[in-house]
Structure 1
Amino acid sequence: MKLLDISEVAHQSGVAASALRHYEEKGLIHSVGRRGLKRLFGPEVLDQLSIIRLGKQAGFSLEEIKGMFGPDGRPSLSRTLLLNKADDLDDQITRLTALRDMIRHVADCTAPRHIDCPRFQKLIRVSARKNAPVSNKF
């Protein structure tokens, strides 16, 4: 098994060495030794970093991502957690789609000024309410 030093892992994964040290501090990855002052990692760390990257892109916290690895560092994914996150992403996509459509309408509105657009007025009223969802029914 060829060990990779931290600079090799950073280069191959595209993850900064400072982030690698942070992930190790948080317990997401583990070095297996040192060569001089440089941390050494097994080649499996590259797969672990790919899972961390995907998890972050999906909106998982580092603590949630940490729970996606078993004690041996191999993936141990909770199907329930994944399904719940997929549902959260569906909700976010719905909200963002509605917001995008509203912004496009306001940009294309023929009202002389944006503030005169009835839909823009509704957007302003809805967004003034804390945690108010934007809907397609604007």
Structure 2
Amino acid sequence: MSELSIAQLRARTGLASSALRFYERKGLLHAARRAGGKRVYDEDAVEQVALIDLLKRAGFTLSEIAALVGPSGRSAPDWRTMAAAKLRELDDRVQQIERARKALRHAIDSRHELLDDCPVHRRILRAHAETLAADAKSAPAKSASAKSAPANSASVKSTSVKSAPAKSASVKSASVEGVSVSGRGAGSA
């Protein structure tokens, strides 16, 4: 098996040497040996770096990646459980993004010059405000860190919105012209 210097591994993976050393410190990658005080990697390190990158792109944190695969590149015995949990998390994020896209599409397609003048937008905001209030009442013991989390990582409740009088909107389900909004924070309406 051929060996690679850190410069060669950097060239093959596109990662900076500092990133490769950081991965070593995190236990995600290891040099096969040292030659003249310099790191020497096995050819397998290229695939290990590729795996780390793929997992990062899938939303895994470096700590999660370390739990999934060690520096040898061998997967953990319970990798399927961890992967399934991440898949559920990604599916939730995709749903949040789709709801945000619908709300933005409605806003862009609105015939009103100012969004504030759009009655559908106003109903969406009222329904979302009611959802926020209901969430706050149902979980008063949330930690400060959970309250300050970005909108795209918060748990969500779906509020679908159709053309209907504003008073018919409920907290759990309000309908306004097929636009569906949910979640916390301004980013989700």
Give the structure-2-normalised TM-score.
0.64
Question: Partner letter of residue 52 of structure 1?
Answer: I
Distance 1:57 1:24, change over 3 A: same
Q: Is the 8 A contact 1:99 1:135 kept in 2?
A: no
Distance 1:7 1:26, change over 3 A: same
CA distance in 1, matches of 2:101, 2:64: 29
User: Hey, what does 2:38 align to over in structure 1?
Assistant: 38
CA distance in 2, matches of 1:132, 1:61: 19
Q: How many residues are treated as equivalent by the alignment?
A: 138
User: Hey, what does 1:47 align to over in structure 2?
Assistant: 47
Distance 1:33 1:132, change over 3 A: closer
Q: Is the 8 A contact 1:95 1:135 kept in 2?
A: no
Deviates more, 1:16-25 or 1:62-71: 62-71
SS at match of 2:34: strand
Q: Is the 8 A contact 1:99 1:134 kept in 2?
A: no
CA distance in 2, matches of 1:2, 1:94: 45
Which string of whole-angstrom CA distances, capped at 9 and with x for unpartnered residues, describes residues 64-100 of structure 1? 1012225743233611111111111111101100101
Q: Is the 8 A contact 1:34 1:40 kept in 2?
A: yes
User: Hey, what does 1:106 align to over in structure 2?
Assistant: 107
Identity %: 36
- 1:110 Cα deviation from its structure 2 partner: 0.5
CA RMSD of aligned residues (A): 2.4
Give the structure-1-normalised TM-score.
0.85
Q: 1:133 aligned to 156, 166, 184, which one?
A: 156
Unaligned 5+ runs, structure 1: none
Distance 1:15 1:109, change over 3 A: same
Q: Is the 8 A contact 2:29 2:72 kept in 1?
A: no
User: Hey, what does 2:80 align to over in structure 1?
Assistant: 79
Question: Partner letter of residue 102 of structure 1?
Answer: A
Q: Is the 8 A contact 1:95 1:134 kept in 2?
A: no
CA distance in 2, matches of 1:56, 1:71: 15
